[in-house]
Amino acid sequence: MNDMTYVIVPKSDQVNADDLIAGPMTIRSTGVTVKGGQEQPVSISFEGEKKVFRPCKSMCRVMVNAWGPDANKYIGKSLTLYRDPAVTWGALAVGGIRISHMTDIERDMVMALTEKKGSRKPFIVKPLRVEAPAEDKVTPGVMMLIGRIDAATDLSVLEAITGDAGVAKQRAWLAKNRPELAAKVDDAVSARLADFDSADDFPGEPSNPDGTVRA
Protein backbone atom coordinates (compact mmCIF):
# COMPACT_ATOMS: atom_id res chain seq x y z
CA MET A 1 0.00 0.00 0.00
CA ASN A 2 1.31 3.44 -0.96
CA ASP A 3 -0.39 5.40 1.84
CA MET A 4 -1.66 8.90 0.97
CA THR A 5 -3.24 9.72 4.34
CA TYR A 6 -0.22 11.51 5.79
CA VAL A 7 -0.11 14.07 2.97
CA ILE A 8 -3.64 15.29 3.71
CA VAL A 9 -3.07 15.93 7.43
CA PRO A 10 -3.68 19.65 8.15
CA LYS A 11 -0.82 21.59 9.72
CA SER A 12 -2.05 22.82 13.08
CA ASP A 13 -1.35 22.65 16.81
CA GLN A 14 -4.75 21.04 17.38
CA VAL A 15 -6.74 18.11 16.06
CA ASN A 16 -9.08 19.25 13.28
CA ALA A 17 -12.03 17.51 11.68
CA ASP A 18 -9.97 16.96 8.54
CA ASP A 19 -7.45 14.97 10.61
CA LEU A 20 -10.19 12.37 10.97
CA ILE A 21 -11.06 11.95 7.30
CA ALA A 22 -9.21 8.62 7.33
CA GLY A 23 -11.24 7.38 10.31
CA PRO A 24 -11.96 7.83 14.03
CA MET A 25 -9.20 8.27 16.60
CA THR A 26 -9.16 7.11 20.21
CA ILE A 27 -7.14 9.26 22.60
CA ARG A 28 -6.11 8.92 26.25
CA SER A 29 -5.95 12.21 28.13
CA THR A 30 -2.69 13.24 29.78
CA GLY A 31 -3.69 16.77 30.77
CA VAL A 32 -6.43 19.37 30.51
CA THR A 33 -6.01 23.15 30.37
CA VAL A 34 -8.96 25.51 30.77
CA LYS A 35 -8.49 29.18 29.87
CA GLY A 36 -11.54 31.38 30.10
CA GLY A 37 -12.28 34.17 27.66
CA GLN A 38 -11.15 32.24 24.59
CA GLU A 39 -13.18 30.89 21.70
CA GLN A 40 -11.86 27.40 22.46
CA PRO A 41 -11.06 27.50 26.19
CA VAL A 42 -10.41 23.78 26.73
CA SER A 43 -7.26 22.03 25.50
CA ILE A 44 -6.83 18.30 26.08
CA SER A 45 -3.38 16.81 25.58
CA PHE A 46 -3.10 13.10 24.94
CA GLU A 47 -0.62 10.27 24.54
CA GLY A 48 1.53 9.98 21.45
CA GLU A 49 0.71 13.37 19.91
CA LYS A 50 1.92 16.94 20.24
CA LYS A 51 -1.41 18.31 19.05
CA VAL A 52 -4.25 18.96 21.49
CA PHE A 53 -7.96 18.32 21.20
CA ARG A 54 -10.01 21.49 21.67
CA PRO A 55 -13.64 20.42 22.05
CA CYS A 56 -16.49 22.66 20.98
CA LYS A 57 -19.05 23.77 23.55
CA SER A 58 -21.38 20.86 22.77
CA MET A 59 -18.61 18.28 23.28
CA CYS A 60 -17.58 20.05 26.49
CA ARG A 61 -21.15 19.53 27.70
CA VAL A 62 -20.86 15.86 26.80
CA MET A 63 -17.66 15.46 28.83
CA VAL A 64 -19.06 17.30 31.84
CA ASN A 65 -22.17 15.13 31.72
CA ALA A 66 -20.09 11.95 31.52
CA TRP A 67 -17.07 12.72 33.70
CA GLY A 68 -18.17 15.64 35.86
CA PRO A 69 -17.00 19.28 36.02
CA ASP A 70 -13.50 18.67 37.46
CA ALA A 71 -11.21 18.53 34.43
CA ASN A 72 -8.35 17.20 36.57
CA LYS A 73 -10.28 13.94 36.81
CA TYR A 74 -10.26 13.53 33.02
CA ILE A 75 -6.57 12.58 33.04
CA GLY A 76 -6.08 8.92 32.18
CA LYS A 77 -9.54 8.60 30.64
CA SER A 78 -10.11 7.86 26.97
CA LEU A 79 -12.54 8.88 24.27
CA THR A 80 -13.03 8.27 20.56
CA LEU A 81 -13.25 11.20 18.16
CA TYR A 82 -14.82 11.13 14.72
CA ARG A 83 -15.53 13.58 11.93
CA ASP A 84 -19.16 14.58 11.51
CA PRO A 85 -19.49 16.05 7.99
CA ALA A 86 -22.92 17.53 8.81
CA VAL A 87 -21.52 20.13 11.24
CA THR A 88 -22.06 23.59 9.77
CA TRP A 89 -20.42 27.00 10.07
CA GLY A 90 -23.01 29.54 9.08
CA ALA A 91 -24.78 27.99 6.12
CA LEU A 92 -21.76 25.95 5.03
CA ALA A 93 -21.22 22.29 5.99
CA VAL A 94 -17.57 22.26 7.06
CA GLY A 95 -17.47 19.18 9.28
CA GLY A 96 -16.66 19.05 12.96
CA ILE A 97 -15.30 16.75 15.67
CA ARG A 98 -17.71 14.68 17.71
CA ILE A 99 -17.25 12.10 20.48
CA SER A 100 -18.63 8.63 19.84
CA HIS A 101 -17.28 6.61 22.79
CA MET A 102 -15.98 7.37 26.29
CA THR A 103 -14.52 5.33 29.09
CA ASP A 104 -15.96 5.47 32.61
CA ILE A 105 -19.59 5.31 31.54
CA GLU A 106 -21.55 2.13 32.14
CA ARG A 107 -24.14 2.39 29.36
CA ASP A 108 -25.15 4.47 26.36
CA MET A 109 -25.40 8.13 27.35
CA VAL A 110 -28.09 10.13 25.57
CA MET A 111 -28.15 13.93 25.63
CA ALA A 112 -30.21 16.53 23.80
CA LEU A 113 -27.76 18.83 22.03
CA THR A 114 -28.47 21.89 19.94
CA GLU A 115 -28.17 21.02 16.25
CA LYS A 116 -29.00 24.52 15.07
CA LYS A 117 -30.79 27.51 16.52
CA GLY A 118 -34.16 26.41 17.87
CA SER A 119 -33.51 22.74 17.11
CA ARG A 120 -32.22 20.03 19.44
CA LYS A 121 -31.70 16.34 18.76
CA PRO A 122 -30.52 13.33 20.77
CA PHE A 123 -26.78 12.73 20.84
CA ILE A 124 -25.56 9.27 21.87
CA VAL A 125 -22.17 8.37 23.36
CA LYS A 126 -21.34 4.71 23.85
CA PRO A 127 -19.11 3.13 26.51
CA LEU A 128 -15.49 2.67 25.43
CA ARG A 129 -13.73 -0.48 26.56
CA VAL A 130 -9.95 -0.19 26.60
CA GLU A 131 -7.45 -2.80 27.63
CA ALA A 132 -5.58 -2.05 30.82
CA PRO A 133 -1.87 -1.54 30.19
CA ALA A 134 0.11 -4.72 30.68
CA GLU A 135 1.86 -4.95 34.01
CA ASP A 136 5.56 -4.22 33.68
CA LYS A 137 7.28 -7.09 35.45
CA VAL A 138 10.74 -6.20 34.19
CA THR A 139 11.38 -2.70 35.52
CA PRO A 140 11.12 -3.57 39.25
CA GLY A 141 13.84 -6.23 38.87
CA VAL A 142 16.04 -3.77 37.00
CA MET A 143 15.62 -1.15 39.71
CA MET A 144 16.62 -3.75 42.32
CA LEU A 145 19.77 -4.54 40.32
CA ILE A 146 20.62 -0.85 40.02
CA GLY A 147 20.11 -0.51 43.78
CA ARG A 148 22.63 -3.32 44.38
CA ILE A 149 25.10 -1.64 42.01
CA ASP A 150 24.69 1.73 43.73
CA ALA A 151 25.24 0.08 47.11
CA ALA A 152 28.51 -1.67 46.10
CA THR A 153 31.12 -0.65 48.66
CA ASP A 154 34.19 -1.34 46.54
CA LEU A 155 35.32 -2.61 43.16
CA SER A 156 35.39 -6.25 44.22
CA VAL A 157 31.73 -6.11 45.29
CA LEU A 158 30.78 -4.45 42.00
CA GLU A 159 32.68 -7.07 40.02
CA ALA A 160 30.95 -9.82 41.96
CA ILE A 161 27.58 -8.36 41.01
CA THR A 162 28.32 -7.80 37.33
CA GLY A 163 30.16 -11.13 37.03
CA ASP A 164 27.24 -13.13 38.39
CA ALA A 165 25.86 -15.49 35.73
CA GLY A 166 22.27 -14.52 36.49
CA VAL A 167 23.01 -10.82 36.22
CA ALA A 168 24.91 -11.35 32.96
CA LYS A 169 21.92 -13.24 31.55
CA GLN A 170 19.56 -10.49 32.73
CA ARG A 171 21.66 -7.77 31.10
CA ALA A 172 21.89 -9.71 27.82
CA TRP A 173 18.09 -10.08 27.76
CA LEU A 174 17.62 -6.38 28.49
CA ALA A 175 20.04 -5.40 25.71
CA LYS A 176 17.93 -7.36 23.23
CA ASN A 177 14.41 -6.68 24.49
CA ARG A 178 14.49 -3.54 26.67
CA PRO A 179 17.44 -1.44 25.53
CA GLU A 180 16.25 1.61 27.48
CA LEU A 181 16.54 -0.39 30.73
CA ALA A 182 19.84 -1.94 29.67
CA ALA A 183 21.19 1.60 29.25
CA LYS A 184 20.13 2.47 32.81
CA VAL A 185 22.05 -0.52 34.17
CA ASP A 186 25.11 0.38 32.08
CA ASP A 187 24.95 3.96 33.34
CA ALA A 188 24.74 2.76 36.95
CA VAL A 189 27.81 0.52 36.51
CA SER A 190 29.77 3.32 34.80
CA ALA A 191 28.86 5.79 37.53
CA ARG A 192 29.97 3.41 40.28
CA LEU A 193 33.25 2.71 38.50
CA ALA A 194 33.83 6.44 38.22
CA ASP A 195 33.21 6.78 41.97
CA PHE A 196 35.83 4.14 42.71
CA ASP A 197 38.32 5.73 40.29
CA SER A 198 37.94 9.13 41.92
CA ALA A 199 38.41 7.57 45.36
CA ASP A 200 41.66 5.94 44.19
CA ASP A 201 42.90 9.28 42.88
CA PHE A 202 42.35 11.05 46.21
CA PRO A 203 45.74 12.31 47.41
CA GLY A 204 46.97 10.68 50.62
CA GLU A 205 50.16 10.62 52.61
CA PRO A 206 53.21 9.50 50.59
CA SER A 207 54.30 5.98 51.43
CA ASN A 208 57.46 3.91 51.23
CA PRO A 209 57.72 1.07 48.70
CA ASP A 210 56.85 -1.38 51.48
CA GLY A 211 53.59 0.50 52.15
CA THR A 212 54.61 2.16 55.38
CA VAL A 213 53.98 5.88 55.73
CA ARG A 214 57.04 8.05 55.41
CA ALA A 215 58.09 9.92 58.53
For 6-47, write each residue's pLDDT tens digit. 555 555 789 988 889 999 999 999 999 998 888 889 999 998
Indicate whether 170 and 119 sit together in one domain. no
Using the 3D structure, point to which of 63, 92, 127 is the last residue of a domain. 127
**φ, ψ at 189 (rounded to 5°):** -65, -45
Please check whether residue 214 lies inside any domain of the structure. Answer: no
Indicate whether 92 and 190 sit together in one domain. no
Residue range of the domain that includes 117: 7-127
Indicate whether 20 and 120 sit together in one domain. yes
Please check whether residue 215 lies inside any domain of the structure. Answer: no
Q: Which residue has the higher pLDDT, 39 or 92?
A: 39
Distances (CA, A) of 29 to 94, 161, 193: 26, 41, 42
pTM over cut 0.85: no
Q: Which residue has the higher pLDDT, 200 or 84?
A: 84
Describe the chain by its helix, strand, coil percentages, rounded to 5: 35, 25, 40
Indicate whether 123 and 191 sit together in one domain. no
Residues 145-158 have a mean pLDDT of 94
Q: Which residue has the higher pLDDT, 203 or 153?
A: 153
Indicate whether 77 and 176 sit together in one domain. no
Residues 144-165 have a mean pLDDT of 95
Using the 3D structure, point to which of 89, 107, 127 is the last residue of a domain. 127
